[in-house]
Amino acid sequence: MKQYQADAAHILLSSISENRRETFPHGDEQFPCTSYLDRYSLKMEGYPWHWHDEWEIAYVERGGVTVRINDKAFRLKEGDGVFIGRRVLHAYSVCGTEAEMPNILFRPSLLYGSQESVYWKRYIKPLILSSAFSCAILTDAVLWQAEALKQARRAFSLLTAEAYGYEFRVRSALSEFVLQLCRNMPCGTERSAGQQSEIDRVRQMLSFIQTHYTAPIQVQQIADNAFISRRECLRSFQSVIGSSPIQYVIALRLRKAKQLLLETDLPILDICAACGFQNQSYFTKAFREKTGTTPAQFRKRAR
């Protein structure tokens, strides 16, 4: 099992492409499945907006986590879990001071093999093609969800141990998990063309911000990139992301600054410039408002 902490390797922005799609490989062609142990804290409080081609299963082992999926937010307490479909925009943030969350990513093809198979036609295809089923929140209080979470924990344990034949058993556990989803797939309302268009525009604007956050950036530039008005840009960001575009830009710059403070010996002035802040006094003020400490104190305490 590959273990990544959210305050270290799993939050590396270099593993996310310019359109916020993860480019970090999850498993390989022979066994397209892997696991992570995400650890969140006040030093690095979450994992940024992204999406990937794999299905994702995660559950909270300690603490609490808020998961934002498209334009909705869900708070997961200890024992709760989430299933996230392919190419679904999502982000995680810690609730409280610390959280620990095992996480499994795998390609659906691991379970169905060929699209000529009954596994694809009867079970997997309906899940993948349903726009009403982009995610599922799971809790032990619901019988079928408790069984799904049991299989998720089993799969994670097997991926951790990597005993002989674990690949067979992991595939079996994930198949049981997905079977529970198939049996209980909610008949939700299909996402309207307008809703999907808004999410697509936000993805496009996130891509622009990720590419240009190190330079001065204005709301109008972000709006122009998605061919919408400034007002519509502000509304879409608030609807999907839950913040204004500039708040998101500042949060992204601060996240990158934390990463550099933790992982490099760069002078604070250089980090300030590398993260798009125009002067050190504003950088220090924004950093203190977010973390309650200065960049220098943050680095010292972390070490």
**CATH number, position 245:** 1.10.10.60
| 139-172: pLDDT as tens digits | 999 999 999 999 999 999 999 999 999 999 999 9
Q: Can you give the pLDDT at residue 27?
A: 57
Which tokens belong to 230?
Answer: 């400034």
Same domain, yes or no: 71 and 136: yes
Same domain, yes or no: 128 and 222: no
Q: Can you give the pLDDT at residue 5?
A: 41
Instruction: Name the domain boundary from 165, 184, 203.
Output: 184
What is the bridge-based pairing of β-strands 81-84 and 62-69? unpaired
**Does residue 3 lie in a domain region?**
no
Nearest to 189 by CA among 128, 131, 123, 129: 131
**Percentage helix, strand, coil for the chain under 3-state DSSP, each rounded to 5:** 50, 20, 30
CA torsion 10-15-16-18 (nearest 10°) is 150
Partners of 55 in the β-ladder: 106
Q: Which domain holds residue 292?
A: 193-302
**Distance, CA of 69 to CA of 249 (rounded, Å):** 19
If one counts every other C-beta atom within 10 angstroms of the C-beta of residue 115, the result is: 11
Instruction: Please check whether residue 41 is in contact with residue 98, taking contact to mean a CB–CB distance below 8 angstroms.
Output: yes
Instruction: Please check whether residue 205 is in contact with residue 240, taking contact to mean a CB–CB distance below 8 angstroms.
Output: no
Same domain, yes or no: 203 and 129: no
**Does residue 92 lie in a domain region?**
yes
CA 262 remoteness from chain centre: 21
Nearest to 211 by CA among 167, 254, 272, 252: 252
Spans of the chain, pLDDT less than 70: 1-27, 42, 131-132, 186-194
Instruction: Please check whether residue 27 is in contact with residue 217, taking contact to mean a CB–CB distance below 8 angstroms.
Output: no
**Distance, CA of 211 to CA of 161 (rounded, Å):** 39
**Residue 26, amino acid:** H
Number of domains in the chain: 2
Phi (first) and psi of residue 86, to 5 degrees? -70, 140
Give the burial string for 175-198 (b: 16+ CB within 10 Å, else e): bbbbbbbeeeeeeeeebeeebeeb
Instruction: Name the domain boundary from 184, 214, 245.
Output: 184
Which tokens belong to 210?
Answer: 């990720």
Same domain, yes or no: 210 and 274: yes
| DSSP helix/strand/coil, 136 | strand
Q: Can you give the pLDDT at residue 97?
A: 87
**Does residue 203 lie in a domain region?**
yes
**CATH number, position 30:** 2.60.120.280
Instruction: Please check whether residue 43 is in contact with residue 302, taking contact to mean a CB–CB distance below 8 angstroms.
Output: yes
Same domain, yes or no: 37 and 173: yes
Same domain, yes or no: 164 and 238: no
**Does residue 237 lie in a domain region?**
yes
Q: Can you give the pLDDT at residue 193?
A: 63
Q: Can you give the pLDDT at residue 186?
A: 63
92 dihedral zone (left: phi>0; alpha: psi -120 to 50; beta): beta
Which tokens belong to 181?
Answer: 């989803």
pTM: 0.75
For residue 179, the number of C-alpha atoms closer than 13 Å in the C-beta half-sphere is 11
Same domain, yes or no: 18 and 150: yes
Partners of 83 in the β-ladder: 57, 136
Same domain, yes or no: 175 and 233: no
Residues 6+ apart with CB under 8 A from 210: 13, 16, 18, 20, 252
Same domain, yes or no: 68 and 165: yes
Q: Can you give the pLDDT at residue 119?
A: 96
Instruction: Name the domain boundary from 127, 150, 184.
Output: 184
Same domain, yes or no: 263 and 170: no
Same domain, yes or no: 29 and 165: yes
Same domain, yes or no: 43 and 175: yes
**Distance, CA of 10 to CA of 23 (rounded, Å):** 12
